[in-house]
Amino acid sequence: QKSQFALSFSVPSLIAKQSKYDKRKVLHSIKVGIALVLVSLLYLLDPMYNEVGYNAMWAIMTVVVIFEFTAGATLGKGLLRGIGTLLGGGLGCLVAILADKFGKIGNNIVVGTSVFLFGAAVTYCRLVPSIKRRYDYGAMIFILTFNLVVVSGFRADKIIGLAGVRLSTIGMGFAICIFTSLFIFPNWASDELHYSMSSKFEKLGICVEGCLEEYFTQDNEKETQTKADFADCRSVLYSKSNDDSLANFARWEPWHGKFGLSYPWDKYLQIGDVLRELSGIMISLRGCLQSPRQPSTTTRHSIMEPCKTVGLHLAWTLGDLGESIKKMERCPPKALVASKLQSMKLELSLIASPSKLGAVDNGEGLAIASFVFL
Amino acid sequence: QKSQFALSFSVPSLIAKQSKYDKRKVLHSIKVGIALVLVSLLYLLDPMYNEVGYNAMWAIMTVVVIFEFTAGATLGKGLLRGIGTLLGGGLGCLVAILADKFGKIGNNIVVGTSVFLFGAAVTYCRLVPSIKRRYDYGAMIFILTFNLVVVSGFRADKIIGLAGVRLSTIGMGFAICIFTSLFIFPNWASDELHYSMSSKFEKLGICVEGCLEEYFTQDNEKETQTKADFADCRSVLYSKSNDDSLANFARWEPWHGKFGLSYPWDKYLQIGDVLRELSGIMISLRGCLQSPRQPSTTTRHSIMEPCKTVGLHLAWTLGDLGESIKKMERCPPKALVASKLQSMKLELSLIASPSKLGAVDNGEGLAIASFVFL
C-alpha cells in the first residue's frame, strides 16, 4: 500500500527528472551557440578585428575549450587557464630575455634546456594525484604558454606586446563564457550535487522497500519491479567519481542561492561514501535473499511483521533524510529517530534473523552517521 | 602461518609496485620533455622555420595537449584530434565558400547562423553519454576548427593553403608524440588494466584472509593489519571509473605484447564489476563481524575449523585466479575448483553460520562468474 504509492510516485518523478535534465542539455547547447556567435563577432565586425586582428583566434579557442556544462566547471577552467597563461607567459618572457643575452647558439641551448626542464617538472607534478584532481588543466596551460612564449620570443622581438594582446583576447573569451554561463539560466554544479545526494537517499529507501516486498511476496508475483530498483542501487554504488568532480566544481562557484561561500562540500562526499557502503550492503543482502537455501514459508511468515515494520521505517527514515537535505531543513532530532531505530533493532533481535539483521545494523550505522551532519 | 606469509609477501610487493609506478612517472615526464624539445626544433632551426613559420605553434599545441600518460590515451586523443580537425576544417571551408557567394552582410549572417547551429548541435551530441565517453575530445576539436576556419575564411582568402600548412604541423606534432610515446619505453594502458585486474584478485584474497584472522583471534591481538586491508577492499570498490577509462584507452592501442587487436576488454570490465560487488560484500561482512552482538567464544571456536578452511581456500582460489590472469594461463579446470567450493559450502552449511555463509555463497558466485571468462 504505502510502498505501492512510493513506487508509483517515483516513476513519474524519474521521468520528469529525465526530461528536465534533457531540457537543461538543450539549454546548455543553445548557450554554447550564443557564446560562439558572440566571440565570432570579434572577427566579423571590422572595428573589433582592427583592434585584435589574428589574435581573435585565442578568444574563440578559449570559449570552445572552457565552456563546460556546469557554471563551476566553466569558472574553474577559465580561472586555471588565466592563471596558467599568466604564470607560463611571465616565466617564458623572463627566460626568453635571459636567453637573448647569449649568442645565437647559446640562446638555442638555453631555450631547449629550459623547455625540457620545465616541461618534465610540470608534467611530473601533473601526475601527483592531489594536483591532478584540481589543477591539471592549469598545469597544462602553463606548459603550453611557457613553450610558445619562450620559443617564439626568439623570433618575434616584441613578445611583451604579443603576450598582452593574446592575454586580452583570452580575457574577452573568458568574459563571454562567464556571462553566458553564469547569467543565462546557470547550471550550478552545487545544485546538482545537492539534488543528487537527496535522490540517493530516495533511491536507497525505495530499494529497501523493494527488497522487503520481494522477500515476502509469493514466487508467482516476483520479477516485476525489483530489477529496476537494483539498477538504482548500483548507480549509487558507482557514483563516486561523479560526486568527486561535482564537489570539485562546486568549490569554484560563487555565493548563490542557498549556498554560502565556504559551504561544506566535503560533508557531501562523506555522506556519499556512507551511502555507497549502504548500497553495497543492500546488494549483498539481495544476494543472500536470492540464494537457494531459504527458510520455510512459515518461518518467513513468522518474521514478516517486525521485519516489515523495521524495513519500512528504515525506508521512511531514508526518504525523510533525503527530503530534509533537499529542503535544507533540520530533520527531527537525532536522539528521537535513533532511539526509535534502536528499539526496533532490539525487537528484531528477539526474533534473530541474522542475515537481515546485519543489514539493518549497518543501515542504522548509516542513519546515525548522516545525522551527525544534520 | 600461510596468511602471515601472504601478508609479509604483499607489503614489499606493494612498495616495489609503488616505486615502479613512480619510476614510470619520472620516465613519462622525461618523455614529455624530449617531445617538447623535438617540437621546439621546428621554431629553433632556421630551415624548418622557413618552411612552416608561425604555424609551428600548432605543432607545439598538439604535443602539449595530446601527450598523455598511457600510449593508448595519446594515440586516441591524437587520432580524434586529427579526425576532428579534418572534418571541422572541411565543413568550415564548404560553408566559407558558400557564404562568400552572398554579399558582405549576407556572408556575416550565414557565418553567424552556421556557427550557432553547428556549435549547439555538436555540443548537444557531446552531452550524450556514449559519445561523451569516447569521442568528446574529437567533438570539441571539430567545433574549434570549424569556427576558426569559417570565421577566418572570411578574412584570409587563401584558407585552403592555410588549412594545409596547419594540418601538416598538427601531423608533425602527432608524429613526434607517437614516436616518443610508443617507441621509447611505452606505457600501455592495456598492461595497466591487465595488472590492476590481477592485483584486485590478490587484494580481495588478502582481505578474505584478514577478515578470518580478525574474527578468530583474541581481542587483545586485534587492530593490527586489518585496517590497511580494508582500504584495499575499498579501493577495489571505487575502481570503476579508472577501469572504464583504461579500457577505453586500451581499445586504441595497436597489437603489442600478448594482446591481439580485438582483445576482449569488455570482459575485463565485467570481471571488474563482479569483483566490485564482492568487495562490497566483504565490507558488509566486516560490518557484521564488528557488530556488538556476537556468538560466544565457544560457538565461535566450534565453527572455526571449517570456516578457516573455506576462507583460506577462497582466498587461495582468488589469488590463483589473479595469478592465472596475470600470466594469461588457463587455470585448473572450472569444474574441479567449482566442485571443490561446492563441497566446502555443503560442509559449511552443516554448521550453519548464516551471516558468514551469505558471503561465501556470493564469493562462489563470483568465482564461477570469473571462470566463465577463463
Higher-pLDDT residue of A260 and A369 is A260
Alpha-carbon distance B238 to nearest alpha carbon in chain A (angstroms)? 7
Confidence of residue B256 (pLDDT cuts 50, 70, 90): low
Closest residue on chain B to A124 (Cα): B29
Which residue carries 519491479 as its cell?
A: A225
Confidence of residue B254 (pLDDT cuts 50, 70, 90): confident
Confidence of residue B96 (pLDDT cuts 50, 70, 90): confident
Q: Do A285 and B287 touch (CB under 8 A)?
A: no
Higher-pLDDT residue of B133 and B30 is B30
Dist CA B62 CA B143 (whole Å): 16
Kindly report the backbone phi and psi dihedral angles of residue A259, in degrees, each rounded to the nearest multiple of 5, phi listed first: -95, 130
Closest residue on chain A to B345 (Cα): A293
Closest residue on chain B to A57 (Cα): B148
Grid coordinates given for A22: 534533457
Average pLDDT over residues A209-219: 65
Average pLDDT over residues A73-94: 86
ipTM attached to this prediction: 0.74
- Residues on chain B touching A33 (C-beta within 8 angstroms): 115-117, 119-120, 123
Alpha-carbon distance B126 to nearest alpha carbon in chain A (angstroms)? 9
Residue A334 has pLDDT above 60, yes or no: no
Q: In this structure, are residues A137 and A80 in contact, taking their beta carbons and an 8 Å threshold? A: yes
A213-217, A357-361, B251-255: the lowest-pLDDT one: A357-361
pLDDT recorded at residue B189? 77
Q: Do B147 and A69 touch (CB under 8 A)?
A: no
- Residues on chain B touching A127 (C-beta within 8 angstroms): 25, 28-29, 69
Q: Do B127 and A240 touch (CB under 8 A)?
A: no
> Buried (b) or exposed (e) across B274-287, using 16+ Cβ within 10 A?
bbbbbbbbbbbbbb
Closest residue on chain B to A126 (Cα): B29
Dist CA A156 CA A222 (whole Å): 75
Q: What's the mean per-residue pLDDT of chain A?
A: 71
Closest residue on chain B to A42 (Cα): B151
Residue A209 has pLDDT above 70, yes or no: yes
Which residue carries 547562423 as its cell?
A: B113
Confidence of residue B12 (pLDDT cuts 50, 70, 90): low
User: Which residue of A34, A36, A350 is the best one to mutate when testing the B interface, meaning the one whose CB has the most B CBs within 10 A?
Assistant: A36
Of A43, A241, A357, the CB nearest to B151: A43
Of B37, B43, B140, the CB nearest to A64: B140
Dist CA B159 CA B114 (whole Å): 18
Alpha-carbon distance A107 to nearest alpha carbon in chain B (angstroms)? 9
Of A29, A280, A359, the CB nearest to B237: A280
Alpha-carbon distance B279 to nearest alpha carbon in chain A (angstroms)? 8
Of B120, B238, B358, the CB nearest to A287: B358
Of A111, A123, A358, the CB nearest to B284: A358
Q: Please count the residues of chain B.
A: 374
A56-65, A350-359, B83-92, B93-102: the lowest-pLDDT one: A350-359
Q: Do B25 and A288 touch (CB under 8 A)?
A: no
Per-residue pLDDT of A123-178, as tens digits, reads 888 888 777 778 888 898 899 888 888 887 655 556 667 667 778 888 888 888 88
Per-residue pLDDT of A240-252, as tens digits, reads 777 777 777 777 7
Residue A370 has pLDDT above 50, yes or no: no
Confidence of residue B64 (pLDDT cuts 50, 70, 90): confident
pLDDT recorded at residue B363? 44
Which residue carries 548541435 as its cell?
A: B121
Alpha-carbon distance B359 to nearest alpha carbon in chain A (angstroms)? 8
Of B32, B44, B293, the CB nearest to A111: B44
- Residues on chain B touching A238 (C-beta within 8 angstroms): 240-241, 276
Grid coordinates given for B123: 555540443
Closest residue on chain A to B127 (Cα): A25
- Residues on chain A touching B26 (C-beta within 8 angstroms): 124
pLDDT recorded at residue A287? 60
Residue B322 burial (10 A CB sphere; 0-12, 13-18, 19+): buried
Kindly report the backbone phi and psi dihedral angles of residue A329, in degrees, each rounded to the nearest multiple of 5, phi listed first: -105, 160
pLDDT recorded at residue A169? 84
Higher-pLDDT residue of B66 and A287 is B66
User: Which residue of B26, B29, B136 is the best one to mutate when testing the A interface, meaning the one whose CB has the most A CBs within 10 A?
Assistant: B29
Alpha-carbon distance A4 to nearest alpha carbon in chain B (angstroms)? 28
Average pLDDT over residues A84-90: 87
Of B36, B288, B361, the CB nearest to A115: B36
pLDDT recorded at residue B311? 67
Q: Do A29 and B120 touch (CB under 8 A)?
A: yes
Q: Do A123 and B280 touch (CB under 8 A)?
A: no
Average pLDDT over residues B126-131: 81
pLDDT recorded at residue B369? 39
Of A64, A120, A237, the CB nearest to B147: A64
Grid coordinates given for A226: 525489483
Of B69, B112, B349, the CB nearest to A293: B349
pTM, to two decimals: 0.75
Most confident of A29-43, A285-299, B289-303: A29-43
Per-residue pLDDT of B205-214, as tens digits, reads 777 777 667 6
Average pLDDT over residues B140-157: 78
Closest residue on chain B to A366 (Cα): B287
Q: Do B112 and A361 touch (CB under 8 A)?
A: no
Most confident of A54-63, A81-90, A192-201: A81-90
Size of interface A-B (CB pairs under 8 A): 200
- Residues on chain B touching A361 (C-beta within 8 angstroms): 287-288, 291
Higher-pLDDT residue of B333 and B19 is B19
pLDDT recorded at residue B177? 86
Per-residue pLDDT of B166-219, as tens digits, reads 788 888 888 888 888 888 777 777 777 777 777 777 777 777 777 667 666 655
* Best CA proximity match to A173, nearest among A24, A32, A29, A45: A32
Q: What's the mean per-residue pLDDT of chain B?
A: 71
- Residues on chain B touching A162 (C-beta within 8 angstroms): none
Higher-pLDDT residue of B175 and A349 is B175
Percentage of the residues of chain A whose pLDDT score is greater than 70? 59
